[in-house]
Amino acid sequence: MASRGNFDQSTTADQVLEGIDIAGKHFLVTGGSSGLGAETARALASKGANVTITARNLEKAKQVAEGIHAATGNGIAIEELELGSFASIRAFATRINSSDKKIDVLINNAGVMACPHNTTEDGLELQFGSNHIGHFLMTNLVSESLVEGGRVVSLSSAGHKMAPVDFDDPNFEHREYDKWLAYGQAKTANALFAVGLNSRLAKRSIEAFAVHPGVIVTDLGRHLSEQDVLQLVESMGESMSYKSVEQGAATQTLAATAPELTGKGGSYLANCKICELSASDNDVADETTVRAYAVSKENADRLWSLSEKIVAEKFRY
């Protein structure tokens, strides 16, 4: 059994929550109808938290909610949200902000991975548009509902090492589309968003974190062919190890709840620990470090400005 401060790649979400009182706190988890989102919601609900999950497929989310209620005795709420649609995001934010239920922790878990070229409803490259821009707009719009001292957790990935953000062509309008470069760019953006958001919410003592959950077999990889998987395994080399869903949900659960992380906002975590900067540009296989370009304040501010331009709205705190 892992003890506090001694967590690693084998730690589960349930173990992370041992000894932490989250009863009555409200957690909003995007992409909660499967995989890591569903497991995170279950673990939080099992400790008495009030949990809301978002999903595109409400019927699927309902089944997850029923399963969590059966397992924990705690019901969870469901909200419809399509992160590839500004209209859906704005309608969602209006519903959240008009309710009397504040958000203690927002976990931006939803995402797409290495999909064929496609665009969002608003014409953005799908991975950048859904994984980053969708969460950027939604988080800023519901930020008024975040409680003082709350947290925002964004799911990045060691895949951020595949590519930095191309600030001149984030939507692949002037370069050939590559699904892995697009994925890497989106995951870098997720990490930079945590840096940018953390500095902007500091006055309200709200902290933001980015996490790499590990390599887990979930619906996230539904677009991957057998060849894609083989290439990924080859690129990661011997260091690649799979986690269970229970283990994969641990780092984001830790970032959302651990008191020992207070004051360390803006950090990037993996295997339930804050990561050190990469010592080399050839460490794609190392899941325990983060590239400097993914936690750079300069890059974070540049991405923030670009994101505001894309959503045609400025956010001030």
What does each of the 317 residues of the chain score in pLDDT, given as a tens digit?
344 668 999 999 999 999 999 999 999 999 999 999 999 999 999 999 999 999 999 999 999 999 999 999 999 999 999 999 999 999 999 999 999 999 999 999 999 999 999 999 999 999 999 999 999 999 999 999 999 999 999 999 999 999 999 999 999 999 999 999 999 999 999 999 999 999 999 999 999 999 999 988 755 445 455 566 555 555 555 455 689 999 999 999 999 999 999 999 999 999 999 999 999 888 887 889 999 999 999 999 999 999 999 999 999 88
CB-based burial label for 234 (10 Å; 0-12, 13-18, 19+): exposed
Catalytic residue IDs: 177
Q: How many CA atoms lie within 13 A of 180 on its CB side?
A: 12
By the 8 A CB rule, do 54 and 19 touch? no
Q: Look up residue 280 and give its amino acid.
A: S
pLDDT at residue 2, as a whole number: 45
Tell me the C-alpha to C-alpha distance, in Å, between residue 246 and each of 62, 73, 217, 230, 238: 20, 19, 11, 24, 22
Q: Show me where the domains of the chain are located.
A: 19-311
Using the 8-state DSSP alphabet, how is residue 144 labeled? Answer: G
Q: In sequence order, what DSSP letters do the residues of 189-240 get, joined into one string?
A: HHHHHHHHHHHHSGGGT-EEEEEE--EE-SGGGTT--HHHHHHHHHHHGGG-
pLDDT recorded at residue 241: 64
Distance CA 71, CA 193 (A): 34
One-letter amino acid for residue 71 of the chain: A
Quick one: angle between helices 179-200 and 135-142, nearest 10?
A: 20
pLDDT number for residue 130: 98
Kindly indicate whether the domain formed by 19-311 is annotated with CATH number 3.40.50.720: yes
Q: With b meaning 16 or more CB within 10 Å and e meaning fewer, what string describes 99-134?
A: eeeebbbbbbbbbbbbbeeeebebebbbbbbbbbbb
Side-chain-side CA neighbours of 198 within 13 Å: the count stands at 23
- In whole angstroms, give the CA distance from residue 67 to residue 229: 30
**Rounded distance, CA 143 to CA 147, Å?**
9
d(CA 172, CA 174): 6
